Amino acid sequence: MKFRRDTGAESDTTREEVREMAEALSLYRSAMRHIAEKEAARSRVAEPRPGRSIRFGMLLAPALTAVVAAAVLVPVYSHLHHPTSAPGVVVKTSQAGPADTRANVDDTVLMNQIDSELSEDVPDALRPLADLGNQTTNASSVSEKKNVTQE
């Protein structure tokens, strides 16, 4: 009988310990959730700082900007550095060969896509380059005319 009573007391103690432990764990869970919510709120407030937040929808913006810049700069650059090519080759795509035509069409489609996605015009900062390109084109066409006359 004594043995039984001891076992019962022991099991009561164990049960009480387990109950206390379960309660402590539940309290710990609540506390951790509270702290995590507080931290999440704190970091949400801090998000406007550069480099802290990640807007995944914005990840494509730099890439698209680079494509726009490349699409505008490459023709301007090639125009400036190949003055002997036919005048207006950049503007008048119909004068180029079949492969170039296809490339230009692809570029146009791409530009339209990018335009519609970004809703942005060609950067204003590139306009002076375009004007410079026109002047170079005029100058080269004048010199070509001179050459033809001399021949």
Of 9, 21, 60, 109, the one binding other proteins by CB under 8 A: 21
* Residues in the chain, total: 151
Which two three-digit tokens encode residue 142? 């004048």
Q: What is the residue type of 90?
A: V
Kindly provide the residue ranges of all beta strands, DSSP E only, lying in 1-151, ordered along the sequence.
none
Of 35, 91, 109, 142, the one binding other proteins by CB under 8 A: 35
Count CB-CB contacts under 10 A for residue 137.
Answer: 20
CA–CA separation, 16 and 91 (whole Å): 87
Q: Which is nearer to other proteins, 20 or 100 (CB)?
A: 20
Of 15, 19, 33, 146, the one binding other proteins by CB under 8 A: 33
Does 31 help bind other proteins (rule: CB under 8 A)? Answer: yes
Alpha-carbon dihedral of residues 54, 56, 62, 64, nearest 10 degrees? -170
List CB contacts of 32: < 8 A, sequence separation 6 or more: none
In the bound complex, what is the minimum distance in angstroms from residue 85's beta carbon to other proteins? 43
Does 32 help bind other proteins (rule: CB under 8 A)? Answer: yes
Does 3 help bind other proteins (rule: CB under 8 A)? Answer: no
Query: Which range, of 51-59, 86-94, 99-107, 134-142, touches other proteins by CB under 8 A?
Result: 51-59
Residues that bind other proteins (CB under 8 A): 17, 20-21, 23-25, 27-37, 39-40, 43, 52, 54-57, 59
